[in-house]
Amino acid sequence: MPWFKKQRYTSVKPATRKDMPDGLWARCPQCLEVLYRETLEKNLRVCPKCGYHFRIGVKQRQALLLDEGTFEERDASLASIDPLGFSVDGKSYMEKLAESQRDTGLTEAAISGAAKIEDVEISVLIMEPFFMMGSMGSVVGEKTVRAIELAIERSVPFVSVSASGGARMHEGTISLMQMAKISAALARLDDARIPFISILTDPTTGGVLASFASQGDVVISEPGALIGFAGQRVIKQTIRQELPDGFQRAEFQLEHGFVDMTVPRAELKSTVSRILRYLT
């Protein structure tokens, strides 16, 4: 009989990425921490380690900012058409719209209507960053104008939440015309002496920034939000100079007076409510 007998062990295969159920984890793009998605959701999709603010859609934004059960959506049936017959890489504009509608459950890249923030009545526009990059075409422009007109009609403040890659190239000049149309509506809002609070989230760029997003009586941004008209590469090639660190981020814009304050997501509703009560 041998003095030593080799014991048999059952080998355990280590878990691999394929063994893990999809959607359980998310990686923070700023600090690269791997986060349990449920924990991330409970923290309002803000990284608990570094404070990075993940992008969120209109439904989550609505729940975060507006009083529960007070949102009355208007103009939900407005939908874009294809005036230019636009297509790229063999895919038409209408096909791209259908994909975004299917993925987000929305007809367009913004929702608008009447609501309350801590019992203060407002007219509100919230943009959807996951619908064709939150781009502004004719429908988003029209919804914005109608939301401003609702604020004038009811004499209530107008609040917008921007999350946009800019004007929608698929509609050409029609999308660019929205900038002037919205600015004219905001002039009427100003004439009526009705407050406008503009909230900038990641990203707020292009024609949206150049028109209504930058015209608020109070301009608030979430931390780390990308805020700018043209992209850094285009600017660098144009002026042929090195750009400062953090250029076009919310903190840089705050330091240089382009925004009035940066507010963490968890404090956004209470901050907006306090400003609304002061202005009204």
pLDDT digits (tens, 9 = 90+) for 3-51: 555 555 444 444 444 444 567 999 999 999 999 999 999 999 999 999 9
Q: Are residues 76 and 190 in the same domain?
A: yes
Q: Are residues 166 and 201 in the same domain?
A: yes
Q: Are residues 143 and 104 in the same domain?
A: yes
Is pTM beyond 0.85 here? yes
Q: Are residues 148 and 262 in the same domain?
A: yes
**Does residue 142 lie in a domain region?**
yes
Q: Are residues 144 and 24 in the same domain?
A: no
Q: Are residues 131 and 227 in the same domain?
A: yes
**Does residue 4 lie in a domain region?**
no
Q: Are residues 181 and 140 in the same domain?
A: yes
Q: Are residues 172 and 266 in the same domain?
A: yes
Extract the residue ranges of the chain whose pLDDT is less than 50. 9-20
Tally of domains within the chain: 2
Q: Are residues 108 and 41 in the same domain?
A: no
Q: Which domain holds residue 31?
A: 20-54
Q: How far apart are CA 216 and CA 197, in angstroms?
A: 5
Q: How far apart are CA 59 and CA 104, in angstroms?
A: 10
Residue 199 confidence (pLDDT) = 98
Q: Are residues 235 and 150 in the same domain?
A: yes
Residue 6 confidence (pLDDT) = 52
Q: Are residues 203 and 72 in the same domain?
A: yes
Contacts for 270-276: CB closer than 8 Å, 24+ residues apart:
270/118, 271/220, 272/65, 272/117, 272/159, 272/197, 272/199, 272/220, 273/117, 273/118, 273/120, 275/197, 275/218, 276/117, 276/120, 276/122, 276/157, 276/159, 276/195, 276/197
Q: Are residues 83 and 39 in the same domain?
A: no
Give the distance, in angstroms, between the CA of residue 56 and the centroid of all CA atoms in the same chain. 7
**Does residue 39 lie in a domain region?**
yes
**Does residue 63 lie in a domain region?**
yes
